[in-house]
């Protein structure tokens, strides 16, 4: 009993003495740093995602205070938060268009021809071995490298397919860097219509391995309001993000393979099981 | 005494190298060895902290923990608290050093930078203190042992990071690139250091 008491007392005493020493030293040797850095850090989202190119929010805040970086370099902060930081610093900040990531593939594992793959469950590893479990050489491998890279849990793997939730995505671009198939692009958040296919193969070849590939039938191009809303590149059609079509194009075009989708409905799972 | 110190020096740097034969401090060994410049920064911080912490912990052990005293007729010896005390003391010591450095030597603070707080709870630092107690070394011998162990760590780290810089230019098979080839290199380096065994 005595030993326990003495140990406790000793540990408490030691802790108190050390705390006192450090506390006194911290006060005595305090180094003045710009208090605005801390205030700006508190105003930033605190996600430390590195989307701005700095080593975290505190580092970015330092750059803002030093006038090296504009507040709107933060892809996560809302427009109001950016304006608040700019007002605090007494500078004006231009509003930056919000972007979200889009995985340009709609082929779930049940939609594509399967080839066996028993290796490491990581897209970049799968690419080294044989390209994963799907028949298409251009599609999403579905081993969640992007989902693991996402600091905001905005990517869900559903039926072996990476699906971005546009409401959670902040457009930091971390997933873009890790995707070995370069499938993910950052698109303006205001545009909802996307072609969820990235295969440049001929229509028939694509159809052979994937039920939801874009076969280049041009129904969407004909249904669109003006010529260049949808861009044709060989057998692949893509949204023209500089002149985007309205969301009702999806209904008007009635894409035969459902490769043309609304990002919001795609995320909500509206297209599951509808492929022909 | 001089013989003893020579034995400690050679033993700690080469024969019983902290990283390559005791496998202590593997985390910074692999983590900060990608570039020679960061390896040198880390080495400096480790030498600094391990020497200082060996001195302080051996002082505390000699004058407080190893003493037996009687309270209410019960003999009390607190040496069983040594790991707890050592880690708390080392962490506080590093904190203190960091605060003082930041005030009085900003260039050194910048150079050691993130490495100082990183090694507060490093097993190599605690290991040096613990091994000093186990070997029953005095204060001077403990400090020398801490310093030389850290030198051994620095030697291994600098060698390894130089090798890794060369590896960046070598054609490594794709599955072995990165950490994998680093670990293989570390293993071969450890085998090389085994050649010193029996020297002391």
Tell me what ipTM this predicted complex has.
0.75
How many domains is chain B partitioned into structurally? Answer: 1
The answer to whether residue B173 scores a pLDDT higher than 60 is yes
Q: Quick one: which of A92, A81, A94, A98 has its CA closest to A40?
A: A81
Query: What is the per-residue pLDDT for B191?
Result: 92
Q: Hey, what CATH topology would domain A99-268 get? A: Alpha-Beta Plaits (3.30.70)
- Does the pLDDT at position B54 exceed 90? yes
Specify the pLDDT at position B93.
Answer: 87
Contact call for residues A235 and A216 (beta carbons, < 8 A): yes
Residue B1 belongs to some domain of the structure: no
Task: Work out the minimum CA distance from A199 to partner chain B, whole angstroms.
Answer: 26
For residue B54, is it within any domain?
Answer: yes
Each residue's pLDDT tens digit, A175-222:
998 999 999 999 998 888 999 999 998 988 888 888 889 998 888 988
Q: Does A10 touch chain B (CB under 8 A)?
A: yes
Domain ranges of chain A: 35-89, 99-268
Q: Return the SS3 of B129.
A: helix
- Kindly state the tokens that stand for B12: 């700690």
* B199, part of any domain: no
* pLDDT score for B59: 93
Distance of CA B42 to the CA centre of its chain: 11
Q: Give the helix/strand (H/E) hosting B112.
A: helix B106-112
Greatest mean pLDDT among A116-130, A183-197, B26-40 lies in A183-197
Q: Examine residue B16 and state whether it is found in any structural domain, yes or no.
A: yes
Return the closest-CA partner of residue B97 out of B55, B139, B65: B55
pLDDT at B104 over 90: no
Residues contacting B91, CB < 8 A, separation 6+: B120, B121
Please answer whether residues A166 and A100 qualify as being in contact, where contact means their C-beta atoms are separated by less than 8 angstroms: yes
Q: In 3D, which of B170, B20, B102 has the Cα closest to residue A22?
A: B102
Within 8 A of A29 by CB-CB distance, chain B residues are: 99-100, 102-104
Nearest CB to B78: which of A7, A15, A21?
A7
Candidates 1.10.10.410, 1.10.10.10, 3.40.640.10, 1.10.15.40; CATH matching A35-89? 1.10.15.40
Mean pLDDT confidence for A17-24: 92
Any domain includes B108: yes
pLDDT at A276 over 50: no
Closest CA–CA distance from residue A25 to any residue of chain B (Å): 7
The pLDDT score that the predictor gives to residue A95 is 65
Question: Residue B90 domain-assigned?
Answer: yes
Q: Please report whether residue B148 resides in a domain.
A: yes
Q: Can you give the residue range of the structural domain that contains B108?
A: 8-194
Across the range A140-156, mean pLDDT stands at: 90
């Amino acid at each position: 009993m005595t030993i326990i008491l003495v140990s406790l007392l000793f540990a408490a005493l030691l802790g108190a003495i050390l705390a006192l020493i450090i506390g006194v030293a911290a006060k005595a040797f305090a180094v003045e740093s710009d208090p605005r850095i801390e205030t700006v850090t508190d105003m930033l989202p605190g996600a430390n995602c590195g989307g701005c190119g700095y080593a975290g929010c505190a580092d970015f805040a330092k750059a803002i205070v030093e006038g090296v970086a504009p507040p709107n370099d933060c892809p996560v902060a809302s427009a109001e938060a950016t304006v608040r930081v700019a007002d605090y610093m007494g500078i004006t900040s231009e509003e930056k268009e919000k972007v979200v990531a889009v995985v340009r593939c709609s082929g779930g594992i049940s939609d594509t021809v399967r080839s066996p793959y028993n290796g490491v469950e990581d897209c970049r590893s799968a690419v080294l071995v044989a390209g994963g479990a799907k028949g298409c050489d251009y599609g999403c491998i579905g081993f969640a490298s992007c989902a693991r890279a996402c600091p905001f849990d905005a990517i869900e793997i559903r039926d072996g397919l990476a699906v971005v939730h546009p409401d959670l995505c902040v457009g930091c671009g971390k997933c873009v860097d890790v995707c070995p198939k370069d499938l993910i692009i950052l698109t303006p958040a205001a545009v909802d219509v996307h072609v969820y296919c990235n295969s440049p193969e001929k229509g028939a070849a694509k159809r052979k391995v994937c039920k939801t590939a874009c076969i280049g039938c041009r129904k969407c191009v004909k249904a669109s309001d003006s010529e260049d809303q949808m861009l044709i590149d060989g057998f692949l059609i893509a949204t023209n993000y500089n002149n985007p079509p309205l969301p009702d194009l999806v209904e008007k075009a009635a894409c035969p393979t459902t490769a043309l989708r609304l990002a919001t409905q795609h995320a909500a799972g509206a297209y599951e099981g509808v492929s022909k | 005494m001089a013989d003893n110190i020579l034995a400690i020096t050679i033993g700690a740097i080469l024969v019983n190298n902290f990283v390559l034969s005791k496998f202590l401090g593997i985390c910074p060994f692999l983590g900060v060895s990608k570039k020679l410049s960061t390896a040198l920064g880390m080495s400096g911080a480790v030498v600094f902290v391990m020497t200082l912490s060996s001195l302080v912990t051996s002082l505390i052990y000699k004058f407080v923990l190893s003493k037996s005293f009687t309270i209410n007729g019960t003999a009390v010896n607190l040496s069983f608290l040594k790991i707890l005390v050592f880690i708390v003391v080392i962490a506080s010591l590093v904190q203190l050093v960091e605060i003082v450095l930041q005030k009085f030597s900003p260039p050194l603070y910048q150079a050691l930078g993130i490495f100082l707080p990183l090694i507060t709870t490093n097993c190599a630092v605690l290991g040096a203190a613990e091994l000093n107690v186990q070997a029953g070394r005095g204060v001077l011998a403990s400090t020398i042992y801490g310093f030389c162990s850290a030198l051994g760590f620095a030697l291994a780290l600098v060698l390894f990071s130089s090798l890794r810089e060369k590896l960046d230019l070598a054609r490594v098979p794709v599955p072995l690139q990165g950490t994998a080839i680093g670990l293989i290199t570390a293993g071969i380096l450890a085998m090389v250091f085994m050649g010193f065994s029996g020297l002391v």
